[in-house]
Amino acid sequence: MPTGWPKWLLMIVAGACTWALVEIALTPHATRASGQSEYVTTGVFTTAHPTAFAAVKDFVNMHPKHPVQPIAYTHTVHLAKGLQCPFCHVGVDQGPEARIPGVTVCMSCHQVIATDRPEIKKIAAYKARGEEIPWVRVYDYSESAHVKFNHAPHIRAQVDCSNCHSDMTKQTTAERKVDMNMGFCIACHKQKQVSIDCETCHY
Amino acid sequence: MQRTAEQIEQDLLRPVFHTSKKYWVAVAFATSLFFAGVAAFCYQVYAGIGVWGINSPVFWAFDITNFVFWIGISHAGTLISAILRLTNATWRRPVTRCAEAITVFSVLIGALIPLCHIGRPWLAFWMIPYPSERRIWPNFRSPLAWDFFAIATYLTGSTIFLLLPTIPDFAAIRDTATGLRKKIYRVLALGWQGTPRQWQRLETAMHIMAIAIVPVAVSVHTIVSWDFAMTPVPMWHSTIFGPYFVAGAIFSGIAALILTMAVLRKVLRLEEYLRRIHFENLGKLLLTMSLLWFYFTFAERLTTWYGNAPPEMVVFWDSIRKNFAPLFWIMVFCNFLIPVPILGIKRLRTITGTAIASCTVVVGMWLERFLIIVPSLEHKFLPYSWGTYRPTWVEDTLMAASFGFMALLYLLFSKFVPMISVWEMKVGLQPHGGVPVATAEGEHHGLVLEGPLPTDVVE
Amino acid sequence: MQRRDFIKISALSGAMATLEACRSPEQQLIRFVPEEELIPGIATWKPSVCTLCSAGCGLQVRVMQGDAEVVRRGQYGLMKMGLAKKLEGNPQHPVNLGKLCARGQAGLQVLYHPDRITHPIKRSGSRGSGEFQEITWDDALKELASRLATLQSSNSANSLAFLARPMRGQRRELIERFLKAYGAPPAVWYEPFDETVLRQANLLSFGRAALPTFDLRRADYVISFGADFLGTWNSPVAQSIGYGEMRQGRPGRRAKFVQVESRMSQTGANADEWIPCRPGTEGTLALGIAHVILSEKLAPGGPTSPAGSLEGSRAGSVIAGWSAGLPDFAPAALEKQTGVSAAVITRLAHEIAQTGSAVAIIGGAPLAHTNGLFSALAVNALESLIDTGRDQRPILGFMSEPELGDAAQSAVPLQGSLASLNGLAQAALLGQPHAPQMLLLYDANPIFSAPPGVRIREAIAKIPYIVSFGSFIDETSAQADLILPDHAPLESWLDSIPESGSFQAVANLAPPAVAPLHDTRAMPDVLLGLAHQLGGDVAKALPWTTFDALLRAAFIPLRTRGGSINKKTDDEFWSTAQEQGGWWSDAPTAHAAGAQGGGSQGAGSHAGSQPAAATSSLVPAAKHAPMAPAAPEFAGTPAEFPFHFLPYVSQAFGDGSLAHLPWMQELPDVLTTAMWSSWVEINPKTGERLGIRQGDLVEIASQQGSVRAPAVLSPGIAPDIVAMPVGQGHENFGRFATGRGANPLSILAPLAEHQTGSLAWAATRVKLARAGGPEQAKLILFAGGMRGFPHEEEPR
Amino acid sequence: MSHKWGMVVDLDRCTGCEACVVACHAENNIPTAGADQAALGRAKHWIRVERYWEGDFPDARIRFQPVLCQQCEQAPCEPVCPTYASYHTPEGLNAQIYNRCIGTRFCANACPYNVRFFNFFNPQWDMPLELQLNPDVSLRTVGVMEKCTFCTQRIKAAEIQAEAEKRDLKDGEFNPACAQSCASKALVFGDLNDPNSEVSRLERSNRGTKLLGELGTKPNVTYLERGTWEDAKNG
């Protein structure tokens, strides 16, 4: 800034900038459409991002690669025992979403199996309190992506789960191994010669 | 009484070396305007563009009006100076630079406005054709995409066109300046030594640019007009829009140029250099454009009226008789009824006279753009969906800021570059023409001043 | 800008909340184990019943899993639960055949309304101050029970009053039984736009005290006297379905539709011919048409039909001078009175006579004059004359009543609801020996909807203890001392008995579509609980512990009635009824219908397909002396109050009980396209005369008071009429309705229909004056232009 | 055989009841603008029932005309979009891809029917109203253009269902929310490529017209003019 600028001008400038910043920082917060994971309790529901920072993260497509889960669940073990994905993730072959299993599902087996393990005890405690396990979502689309993904048709088309969720038999709690950006989807759709019409997924 | 090269250099470089208190006040004012605009824009991004007055169905209003207005202004410079250079009009010398400066800055502002007006400015880069994993390119059928390329080209072109002839002046400053300033200008001067070879190169380059910039300028405003003409909106969907807009643009451009010159003349005390003849000649040009503008407007309205298509007639009557009648008739006064007599009668075609005329024209041309956009959008085909428009403080602020930004850029520019091309003025001094370093080559490069200065310049 | 500011503020606090949330959203709220395991993303459809008006349409609720903030075990938390996402008509339902009106679909917002009362509350401030404090259900019920007990023991049980909106079904049954057993007087059923007059008229003309059902799909000519049967009157969805068919459902056969009214309603807007007529003279006009038909012996449906003959028409016999051919009703004589030219009357008569199956309908404003019953009887007489039922049965008929068990539905009283409300008010005001000591409020809001003359506000203020079961704070429940919020309809067991809209007998039934969102309890369960606590006769009269048990007891007998459910065991029947959304009898066959309709008798004796139900309300016609024509009376002198005031049921808000729903607020009015505001419709000429422009603020004053609202100049209204929609002008009804617009009911004169004592809401006279410019009025219209139908291509 | 979705609006059946309007709001998560915004002309109704007065008292008449996106084959809104957010799907719909929209609003200006709506703010619902939101339809954010989609989510659902059951779509198997709720059957939706579908049968009616047909937008929505009693009597 050249010398000789009057003080009051500098103040105006500084004021304007800071005000703008504050305004952006306070962008109306958001919750997700019901049926989705993140949920914040406030008086008003908007489609905007919670904070400017969240907006930026979304803009540059940043996601937690390996979120910490309340229960140290191990896919490795369960899959090794021959469990199939739909056993816990009910609905994956019927509709758009796959259910993330809750205490009832877990306890249906662990009533009797390995009840002495600390993690299982945690689950039992949840059940005792009549609470659900607060799993953290791993794979999710940002609100502004406007993507409508439907599991069922993909499974009918023999797309293996590992294509998008990588090999779960090698994971304990799920990790975001695959970066599900539009290029990822398009590449597969092109290769399988299925529709790459925008409205197939975006509506 | 003629001035010597030394005096010229001294006069014209003075602003670069000496800064008055007034100057800082002006800068302060312009800056505060500009930052008010920045603040307003931040607020708009935070709250949503709904803080504007736009609504359904009036989705464009002040924003696009200003966009067209500034792009229009930009046609002053480049076009004028390019044509004057090509036609070798000798009186152009003191005029060209401030004209070219206007161009660059107003294009810059014009290009910024669409970025502010879109709903999601942070995604504006999707207009740029770049390969991505999405495998989507911009839609090259869209006039907005055309706009993007046309304006980008125009901006680069006019910038080069502005900077080329300043090189020798940078060199001149470099030679007189000291310390940091010297360092800076050494860089800017690009090692200009004024060798015949360099002069020749400069000449050729300027010729090429002068020739190249004209079609670009014409195409830019034609494309801007197509933003409207390509859509089935009453009174937009017209074949006359291309030339109509170009003419209007040059019209407003010249007016802006005259105004700027009048201001510079007073502020930088250039009475000796910006003389009556310049205003008189530009005034004549302005007069021509005014008549041309009237012709186009008349033709456009007459065809609409004769065509008598119901949806168009709604807009037609609304703009000349109903809600927008006041604005419309103010526009006619500002663009035609006031300037024509002033510029037509020689006695009135004084510096003040032309300045006044230019003032009204600038206002009138802004109104013209507004009256093209809003009445049509308010009255599209289904009467049920008609609407109205009122601007909000945010839009007003942004508009004021665009003028503030223009002033700011101009002020800063005038601080770093002599607003009148020093070396070209010197060229004007040569009794038998030729460049400062006397060389025969000069003759072949049209740098030579044929004959002595016009009497009224000398007197 | 308040709304945006509000958002700003909440945005601010929200941003704070989110900052913590960003660390780990899951720690924000505990998550409950779901009560039912739904597959995410897959929608299930559950049956339900629309309770927003009396039509009783069947619903299908689209239920999907989602996260909701709920109260369980007195603790707030997140739960994955079934959420209602959309309401659609039940395709099997005989009344609405899978269709649903705008209001019905907005029922969703009643469930999720941000201003719902989420838990029982007790008045903490002075009455009406709106200060309440939270209270547990146990405490609330204990308090109420003890008060009821003391009231009973101090043998002033008959000073318990129950005020509710009229309904047909087991809720009504439950309430009446409770009161009877408790020893209290019968409940007061109040709504401003009740249909008592029409029921009375139909009883006299056709022997059925019920609303008529029209088989419009077979009609060739429809003449309607003020009945907004496509918009808000009777069973709009069923009637709209029929309307569509009568217009374009039969290739080469398109019915003509004539609407007679003084202000163009949505229905009138669809008429082929719209005939404005003086308020209150509709009946006279009808008899004028009848006169022409009778005198010129134009026998509709061909000379063979005896319907043209004078004797035999029961409906006619209740009109004085009918058998003489209505000598006093020569068209020429009616011109001045009705404002309809003799030529038109004669032409209408001839047109009607030409066509085969014609029907005359009356409803709405014509019944809301002091001579409403006469008008109704007159139109009924015309109806019976022209509705020959060329094919099978007449167009006009009556729905049969399902014979529910034990708790059989009681006949709707033929006392105008204004009269009964008046009784309550007077008792309270005069402090009579049995003045109400305790008032139970259910779904009625008389302070908003009763004319000021009733002084219900003062009356309620005098009642020592008021309990409301409402889900929302409205003008009346704001006066309550204790509020025990009911479930939203979609959260509760529902049942109702449609009165019209089909020729089948229908008994609606639906289990809760979704689990309760808030800490609320179903009103019937609360009453049953109270009965249990009170013990004695009350407990004996209501042996059931839950409402669904009561419903089951009532529905089981239907199993043997055939109809839509054919099951061996009661359990099967009960579960099927829940899946179907109720029980309905088989559609009447042409033959059966013919018998029922008694074609040759005109509409003489339409009755249900079950004789028992039909005869239940039959009274001998002869008993009633023929009715002499009566001229309408109005409150206010023409000199002082030059305009007739016509409030009308709002397209969006009904009688105002739906004004709190944002979807309804933003629904552009059908004729004026006004949103979020109320308005006054006046004729452009009148506006010109009084210097009132579109959007100006005008003041309407009657003897009772005055209201202000923006003016809408409408060509569809007579110059001497001022019309205003009911619904806005709530002083206390949630964030979306409070303080919005003006309430026309607040300036009505407490005039009643002479014979039945129901509110004559169209009998008030007013004066009109400009009170300000558009800036004060704030009229919000969706439409930019109102003229100039866009040019279209020539039909191919 | 690929589909070409179209609709027929029978102006003789339409009663102007506006059930379609509310149905659309409920199905497509259309936020209510609120009084202030509505006053500014920002109320969103993907389908609206236009009504026009004709004549004066006592001969005043009203004409109702439901207007929704006409899904033009030569849609003015499509070529003008610089980012392909507004484009033509293989099934003949004018799709609006929200996440690709940068909000130039050019399409809305180009649309002669004014059936495109802009999100001037981030839509908001006072809790718990948001629980009614349809998870099959995305929530449009600020600065994005939106419009009638013929309830494309229902089309997709039906197509996926049919694909799962290895069969073709049946006519009338599903309907957009507006047609589904229309009591008088004024709105009829279907596949115009199927000559036997009800919609193509009605489209061939001699009462058929196109709204602003002279603009050459080739709408896939056809309007059936009102009939008269006299016509019907004369057969």
Q: Could you give the CA distance from residue C652 to residue C668 in angstroms, rounded to a whole number?
A: 9
Q: How confident is the model at residue A5 (pLDDT cuts 50, 70, 90)?
A: low
| Chain D residues whose C-beta sits inside 8 Å of any chain A C-beta | 84, 87, 89-90, 93, 95, 97-100, 122-127, 129-131, 133, 135-142, 149, 152-153, 156, 160, 163-164
Answer yes or no: are the C-beta atoms of D64 and D192 closer than 8 Å. no
Task: Check whether C206 has a pLDDT greater than 70.
Answer: yes
Confidence of residue C405 (pLDDT cuts 50, 70, 90): low
Note whether A11 contacts B: Cβ–Cβ < 8 A.
Answer: no
Shortest Cα distance from A28 to chain B (angstroms)?
A: 8
Tell me what the pLDDT averaged over chain C comes to.
86
Nearest CA distance, A14 vs chain B (angstrom): 9
pLDDT in tens, C315-357: 888 888 888 888 889 999 999 999 999 999 999 999 998 887 8
CA B305, B308, B309, B315 torsion-angle sign: positive
- pTM across the whole model: 0.90
Contact between residue B79 and residue B214 where contact means Cβ atoms under 8 Å apart: yes
pLDDT(C376) > 60: yes
Question: How do residues D7-62 score in pLDDT, each as one tens digit?
Answer: 999 999 999 999 999 999 999 999 999 999 999 999 999 999 999 998 888 899 99
Longest Cα pair distance anywhere in chain C, in angstroms? 89
pLDDT digits (tens, 9 = 90+) for C43-62: 999 999 999 998 999 999 99
pLDDT grade, residue C155 (50/70/90)?
confident
Which of C94 and C598 is assigned the larger pLDDT? C94
Query: Minimal Cα–Cα distance from B23 to chain A, Å?
Result: 11
Whether the CB-CB separation of C500 and C398 falls below 8 Å is answered with yes
**Is residue B18 scored above 60 in pLDDT?**
yes
What's the CA gap between B257 and C174, in Å, rounded? 88
- Give which of D49, D87, D102 to mutate to test B binding, by max B Cβ within 10 Å: D102
Q: Supply the mean pLDDT for chain D.
A: 92
Instruction: Write the DSSP symbol of residue D211.
Output: B
Beta bridge partners of D145: D118
Q: For a pLDDT cut of 70, what percent of chain C falls above it?
A: 87
As a whole number of Å, the CA-based R_g of chain C is 27
Q: What are the start-end ranges of the H helices in C154-307? A: 170-182, 196-206, 236-248, 266-269, 282-295
Whether A20 contacts B45, CB under 8 Å: no
Nearest-CA distance from B184 to chain A in Å?
A: 15
Rounded mean pLDDT of C367-378? 94
Residue C221 has pLDDT above 60, yes or no: yes
Question: CB C791 to CB B384 under 8 A?
Answer: no
Query: What is the C-alpha separation between B216 and B220, in angstroms, rounded?
Result: 6
pLDDT at C20 over 70: no
Convert the pLDDT of each residue in B209-262 to its tens digit: 999 999 999 999 999 999 999 999 999 999 999 999 999 999 999 999 999 999
- What's the CA angle centered on A170, arms A166 and A176, to 5 degrees? 40
Decide: helix, strand or coil at residue C362: strand
Q: What subunits touch chain D, counting only 3 or more CB pairs under 8 A? A: A, B, C
- The pLDDT value recorded for residue B426 is 81
Q: How far apart are CA A71 and CA A88, in angstroms?
A: 15
- CB within 8 Å: C66 and D134: no
Mean pLDDT of C287-291: 94
Asked if A198 lies within 8 A of D97 by C-beta distance, the reply is: yes
Q: Phi then psi for D23, rounded to 5 degrees?
A: -55, -40
Q: Which of C177-186, C303-312, C584-593 has the lowest mean pLDDT?
A: C303-312
| The predicted structure's pLDDT at residue C313 | 64
Which residues in C lie closer than 8 A to residue B388 (C-beta atoms)? 784
More confident site: A6 or B90: B90
Which of B286, B163, B156 shows the shortest CA–CA distance to B216? B156
| Whether B386 and C784 lie within 8 Å, measured CB to CB | yes
Three-state secondary structure readout of C385-439: HHCCCCCCCCCEECCCCCCCCCCCCCCCCCCCHHHHHHHHHHHHHHCCCCCCCEE
CA distance C765 to C636: 5
Name the nearest CA neighbour of D60 among C263, C679, C351, B385: C263
**Which residue in the set B310, B386, B387 is minimally distant from C791, CB to CB?**
B310
Residue C358 to residue B198: CA distance in whole angstroms: 101
The answer to whether residue A95 neighbours chain D at the CB level (below 8 Å) is no
Model confidence band, residue C598 (pLDDT cutoffs 50, 70, 90): very low
Comparing A4-13, B74-83, C498-507, D154-163, the range with the smallest average pLDDT is: A4-13
Contact yes or no for A102 and C30 at CB 8 A: no
Q: How confident is the model at residue A24 (pLDDT cuts 50, 70, 90)?
A: low
Cβ contact, residue pair A130, C69, below 8 Å: no
Q: Which segments of B116-196 are extended strands (E)?
A: none
Q: Is the pLDDT of residue A29 over 80?
A: no
For residue A60, the model assigns a pLDDT of: 80
Report the gap between the CA of C708 and the closest CA in chain B (Å).
26
Question: Residue A7 above 60 pLDDT?
Answer: yes
**Residue C610: predicted pLDDT:** 33
Average pLDDT for chain B: 88
Q: Does residue A41 surpass a pLDDT of 50?
A: no
Distance of alpha carbon C115 from alpha carbon D136, whole angstroms: 27
Chain D's closest residue to C676, CA to CA, is D35
Does C791 contact B at CB distance below 8 Å?
Answer: yes
Q: Which residue of C has its CA nearest to A128?
A: C33
Q: In this structure, is the dihedral angle defined by the CA atoms of residues C607, C612, C617 and C622, taken in order, positive or negative?
A: positive
Tell whether omega for the bond before B436 is within 30 degrees of 0, i.e. cis.
no
B126 to chain D: nearest residue by CA? D83
Nearest C-alpha of chain B: how many angstroms from D234?
Answer: 33
Which residues of chain D lie closer than 8 angstroms to C343, CB-CB?
A: none
Q: pLDDT at position C419, please? A: 86
pLDDT band at C433 (very low <50, low <70, confident <90, very high): confident
Residues in chain A with CB shorter than 8 Å from the CB of B31 are 9, 13
Q: What is the mean pLDDT of residues C269-286?
A: 94
Q: What percent of chain D has pLDDT over 90?
A: 88
CA–CA gap between residue C607 and residue C612 (Å, rounded): 10
Return the pLDDT at B440: 38
- Interval B288-316 mean pLDDT: 94
Does residue B82 register a pLDDT over 90? no
Contacts of C784 in chain B (CB under 8 A): 57, 378, 383-388
Chains near C, with 3+ CB pairs < 8 A? A, B, D
Question: What is the rounded CA–CA span in Å between residue B236 and residue C780?
Answer: 29
**C214, pLDDT greater than 90:** yes
Q: In this prediction, what percent of chain B has a pLDDT beyond 90? A: 69
Tens digit of pLDDT for each residue in A114-141?
A: 888 999 999 999 999 888 898 888 888 7
Q: φ, ψ for residue B254 (rounded to 5)? A: -60, -45
What's B323's DSSP letter? Answer: T
Average pLDDT, chain A: 81
Q: What pLDDT sits at residue C624?
A: 62
- Phi first, then psi, for residue D14 (nearest 5°) are -60, 125
Residues from chain A contacting residue B19 (CB–CB below 8 Å): 4
| pLDDT for residue C618 | 39
Instruction: Note whether D113 contacts B382, CB cutoff 8 Å.
Output: yes
Question: pLDDT tens digits for B169-223?
Answer: 999 889 888 888 899 999 999 989 989 999 999 999 999 999 999 999 999 999 9
**Bigger pLDDT: D229 or A56?**
A56
Interval C8-13 mean pLDDT: 38
Q: Would you call A150 an interface residue with chain D, using a CB distance cutoff of 8 Å?
A: yes
pLDDT tens for B346-374 read 999 999 999 999 999 999 999 999 999 99
How far CA B122 is from CA of B46, B61, B126, B327, B422, in Å, comes to 12, 21, 9, 35, 43
B292 exposure class (CB count in 10 Å sphere: 0-12, 13-18, 19+): middle
The single residue listed with the structure tokens 């080329």 is B164
d(CA B165, CA B78): 13
Q: How confident is the model at residue B430, as a pLDDT?
A: 63
CB pairs under 8 A between A and B: 50
State the smallest CA–CA distance between residue B24 and chain A in angstroms: 7
Consecutive H or E run containing C359:
strand C358-362
Asked if residue B429 has pLDDT above 80, the reply is no
pLDDT in tens, D125-143: 998 999 999 999 999 999 9
Q: List, edge to edge, every strand of the sheet that includes C58-72.
A: C31-32, C75-89, C58-72, C44-49
**What was the pLDDT predicted at B133?**
80
pLDDT for residue A145: 84
Q: How confident is the model at residue B30 (pLDDT cuts 50, 70, 90)?
A: very high
DSSP labels, B185-221: HHHHTTT----HHHHHHHHHHHHHHHHHHHHHHHHHH
Measured between beta carbons, the chain D residues lying within 8 angstroms of B123 are 102
Share of chain C above pLDDT 90, in %: 65
Residue C642, classed as helix, strand or coil, is: coil
- Could you tell me how many CB contacts below 8 A there are between chain A and chain C? 125
Q: What is the pLDDT of residue B273?
A: 86
Pairing mode, if any, of strands D116-118 and D145-147?
antiparallel
Distance CA A109, CA A87 (A): 12
How many other β-carbons are positioned within 10 Å of the β-carbon of residue C354? 14
Does the pLDDT of residue C361 top 80, yes or no?
Answer: yes
ipTM of the complex: 0.89
Round to whole Å and give the CA distance between B323 and B328: 10
Give the residue from D114, D116, D145, D212 with the most B CB atoms within 10 Å of its CB, the best one to mutate.
D114
- Minimal CA separation from A10 to chain D, in Å: 32
Residue C23 scores a pLDDT above 60: no
For residue C76, give the chain A residue with the closest CA. A41
Tens of pLDDT along B265-290?
888 888 888 888 899 999 999 999 99
Q: From its phi and psi, is residue B190 left (phi > 0), alpha (psi between -120 and 50) or beta?
A: left
The token pair that represents B390 in the structure block = 């009122």
Cα of A37 to nearest chain B Cα, Å: 25
